[in-house]
Structure 1
Amino acid sequence: MPRIEITSDTLTEALARISEALSDTAPLMQDIGEYMVKSTNDNFAAGSDPDGKPWAPRTQATLDAYAARKDKPGPRPLIGPTKSLSGTISYEAGADDVTWGSNMIYAAVQQFGAEAGAFGARMGVNKKGRRFFMPIPWGNIPARRFLGVGKEDQAALIEIVEEYLEGAAAD
């Protein structure tokens, strides 16, 4: 088997720095987290999934519900009057991983969709004394992926990793 022996102190030191940088990639994970939060916010601005596919439009029933509450919907699906979902995108980086998303209780339903009644129903008596039964959710909700790594993201993430390694080698 061929053997290569490195005798250059400069190269040996650069490889040692790269090895050290790879032993704790938390700074890299932070860079990736920041990028993915920005990318996800761009998805909200465009009203599309990570690959650029437009989200399903709001249904007339949803628009009617906004009108009944006297709320004005945002310009695109997933952007309501409070902008709660789009305003809570954050990340958490560890030594060798990163997660990002929203802490809103309904975020997963928006991401993956849900059939009417998928989470049971709410029953009760309204203010007029009438009994009601309302499935949760009350209508079908199409998946509107706002999280994920699209093709453009993949290229950007490779660049982030390359810059991280180049920076480690050059230090």
Structure 2
Amino acid sequence: MIEINVTDDAVLQALQEAQQRSDNLEPAYKSIGEMLVVSTQQRFRDKKDPEGHPWAELSDVTIFRKGHARQLEGESRQLARQIVYEVDRKGVEVGSPLEYAAMMHFGGKKAEFSHLWGDIPARTFVGVSADDRDRIIEILQDLLAG
């Protein structure tokens, strides 16, 4: 799984308030995980990172070798379909169990990974957008409201 730590002050404050009022935040973490899975899958359709920046276009060599111009997607769309979340008492993790997910997310250089046919630019798909942040705060506020 790719780990993203949210350090937004408003989110952290809402989490602290929720922790003070509840012994079990797992239901809120589950709601946050479900929301982030949907949000992450939407990024595949939009072809944008969590900040809204477009992903790098595929190179001509990649398009030729793959036979299509779909970014991060083959015919099966497995990467977008395999976005999952895990909850425990400490929080929620969102990511993909697929072996190549980190390479697609962070990118890689042929010089470091000899099996690549060229450099792979990062196409960030996991993260928390401004809209996600607002939804996380809403989920936590709903928990606090009871």
Scaled by the length of structure 2, the TM-score of the pair is 0.82
Pair 19,94 (structure 1): closer, same or farther in 2 beyond 3 Å: closer
1:161 matched residue in structure 2: 140
* CA deviations over 1:11-41 (Å, ceiling 9, x no partner): xxxxxxx778621111011001001001101
**Aligned to 1:149, which of 105, 118, 128?**
128
Q: Which residue matches 1:88?
A: 82
How far apart, in 2, do the equivalents of 1:144 and 1:138 lie?
17
Distance 2:47 2:126 in 1: 12
Residue 95 of structure 2 corresponds to which residue in structure 1?
101
Q: Secondary structure at the match of 1:147?
A: coil
The count of residues paired between Structure 1 and Structure 2 equals 129
Distance 1:99 1:158 in 2: 17
Structure 2 letter corresponding to 1:154: R
Counterparts of 2:22 and 2:57 in 1: how far apart (Å)? 44
Looking at both structures, which has the greater relative contact order when contacts are Cα pairs under 8 Å and sequence separation is at least 6?
A: 2
Identity of aligned residues (%): 36
Question: Aligned pair in 2 of structure 1 residues 66, 19: CA closer, same or farther (>3 Å)?
Answer: closer
Whether contact under 8 Å (1:115, 1:139) holds in the other structure is yes
Instruction: Mark the CA change 1:27 to 1:118 in structure 2 (over 3 Å): closer, same or farther.
Output: same
**Measured at CA, do residues 137 and 30 of structure 1 come closer, stay the same or move farther in structure 2, by a change above 3 Å?**
same
Q: CA shift at 1:117, angstroms?
A: 3.4
Structure 1 residue ranges without an equivalent (≥5):
1-17, 68-72, 120-134
Q: Which structure 2 residue ranges, 5 or more long, are not aligned?
A: 1-17
1:56-87 C-alpha deviation (Å, 9 max, x unpaired) = 011111111023xxxxx36x411211111111
Deviation per residue, 1:101-151 (Å, 9 max, x gap): 1111110011111001323xxxxxxxxxxxxxxx22221000000000111
TM-score (norm 1): 0.70
Greater C-alpha radius of gyration: 1
Structure 2 counterpart of 1:108, one-letter code? A
Change (3 A) 1:34 1:21: farther
Does residue 79 of the first structure (1) align with residue 79 of the second (2)? no
Q: Distance in 1 between matches of 2:29 and 2:73?
A: 28
